[in-house]
């Protein structure tokens, strides 16, 4: 009971990137610019798809939902990170607040990974079965797959978050990170964490490896179908609809796999913090840029919208 009471009263603090306030301010401005850029870029994608009827297709439906997910995903991290950068790591977060942030981060990140697999399936059907595309990718199926992504993210996040926050936390309450990331929080526990690390690895493996396997299988069939297209223009058009998705998948899965699937013995807090900046701030910026630059229909819709203003 005494351990439970100690844990309930714990407040976490985040270690500053630098002891120099000037350096912290530079990092704060950088994070703020990245956050606002991510919000504006993803919001633009979502709004453009919503207001342009020519983009009301399954591919853009999933793209708009990915943009909305990225907004919430980054927003679960950025405000607290920015507050701590300004306060030199003196802004406390309760164990409840840390658990809430952890839950939404894993929930939205897991849904993001599943949605990328759904988008790969959409491209597989579009390229391999173009004549049956509208029949297979019905709106009801699209909505069901989108809801399924959210449900899977929720089901994976909730038990893991509950499990980790049943650990006892005693005196060491400085998180070597800029948000409540699971590996960093587990390191602070003053009890046996073997079961928790194993659970984290298993769930991370499920979230990352299964969708990535499905994406890889989809692209084997997609590339085979593209190579069968006789005209160079047709091959180029087919590949251009997939290349942006491939880049986003490599960024997302590469960074998260590095953090969550590496052996715990080789985990470096400093490296973990730096790599996390990529998939929490940089990737959400790159997603709208990659999709808008590689997609002619989206660029045309954006130009038309800008002309109206």
pLDDT tens-place string over residues 56-103: 899 899 999 999 999 999 999 999 999 999 988 888 888 888 889 999
Could you tell me the two tokens for 273? 């913090």
pTM above 0.75, yes or no: yes
CA 216 to chain centroid: 19
Helices then strands, counting H and E runs in the chain, come out as 13, 3
269, exposed or middle or buried, with CB in 10 Å at 0-12, 13-18, 19+?
Answer: middle
Domain architecture of the chain: domains with CATH: 11-302 (1.20.1070.10)
Dist CA 293 CA 285 (whole Å): 13
pLDDT of residue 5: 46
| Residue bearing the bigger pLDDT, 69 or 263 | 69
Task: Give the tens place of pLDDT for each residue, 283-297.
Answer: 888 877 777 666 677
């Amino acid at each position: 009971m005494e351990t439970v009471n100690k844990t309930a009263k714990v407040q976490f603090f985040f270690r500053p990137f630098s002891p120099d306030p000037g350096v912290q301010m530079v990092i704060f401005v950088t994070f703020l610019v990245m956050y606002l850029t991510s919000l504006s870029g993803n919001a633009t994608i979502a709004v453009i798809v919503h207001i342009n009827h020519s983009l009301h297709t399954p591919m853009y439906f999933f793209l708009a939902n990915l943009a909305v997910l990225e907004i919430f995903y980054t927003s679960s991290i950025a405000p607290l990170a920015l507050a701590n950068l300004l306060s030199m790591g003196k802004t406390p977060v309760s164990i409840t607040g840390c658990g809430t942030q952890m839950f939404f981060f894993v929930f939205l990140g897991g849904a993001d990974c599943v949605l990328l697999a759904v988008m790969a399936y959409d491209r597989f059907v579009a390229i391999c079965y173009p004549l049956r595309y509208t029949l297979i990718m019905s709106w009801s199926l699209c909505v069901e797959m989108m809801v399924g992504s959210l449900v899977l993210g929720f089901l994976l996040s909730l038990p893991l978050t509950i499990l980790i926050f049943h650990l006892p936390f005693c005196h060491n309450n400085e998180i070597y990170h800029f948000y409540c990331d699971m590996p960093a929080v587990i390191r602070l526990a003053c009890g046996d964490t073997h079961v928790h690390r194993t659970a984290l690895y298993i769930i991370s493996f499920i979230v990352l490896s299964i969708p990535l396997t499905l994406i890889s299988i989809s692209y084997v069939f997609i590339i085979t179908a593209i190579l069968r297209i006789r005209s160079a223009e047709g091959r180029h058009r087919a590949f251009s609809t997939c290349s942006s998705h491939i880049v986003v998948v490599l960024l997302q899965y590469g960074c998260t796999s590095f953090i969550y699937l590496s052996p715990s013995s080789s985990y470096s807090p400093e490296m973990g913090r730096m790599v996390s900046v990529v998939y929490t701030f940089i990737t959400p910026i790159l997603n709208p840029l990659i999709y808008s630059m590689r997609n002619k229909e989206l660029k045309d819709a954006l130009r038309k919208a800008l002309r109206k203003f």
